[in-house]
Amino acid sequence: MQTHQKLSGIAIIGVIAMFIVAGTDAQKFHSCCTQVSRMEISGHITGYRIQKWDPPCVRAVIFETESGEFCIHVKQAWVLRKIRQFE
């Protein structure tokens, strides 16, 4: 009987540990650009935002288009022109 109780205790500890690890991973999730492109966007840009460097996120301009969002390198000449059009 003691062996069964020990196994039950170990199983409970294992389940608790899984929840702790899952909670830790959820806190580390980042929804950001981790890579950037240098390619100019040809579609209609509806907006933009600046993303600051905060690992794993990289410094980027995120352009919003009708087909989605694109992470672009901030030092492209065309990027500055597009940003000025919005200001």
Say whether pLDDT at 26 is over 50: no
To the question of pTM greater than 0.85 for the whole model, the response is no
Q: How confident is the model at residue 82 (pLDDT cuts 50, 70, 90)?
A: very high
| Residue 60, beta-bridge partner list | 51
Q: How confident is the model at residue 32 (pLDDT cuts 50, 70, 90)?
A: very high
Tokens 């009708």, residue? 66
Distances in Å between the alpha carbon of 50 and those of 20, 25, 57?
33, 26, 12
Chain centroid offset of residue 52 CA: 12
Distance CA 53, CA 33 (A): 10
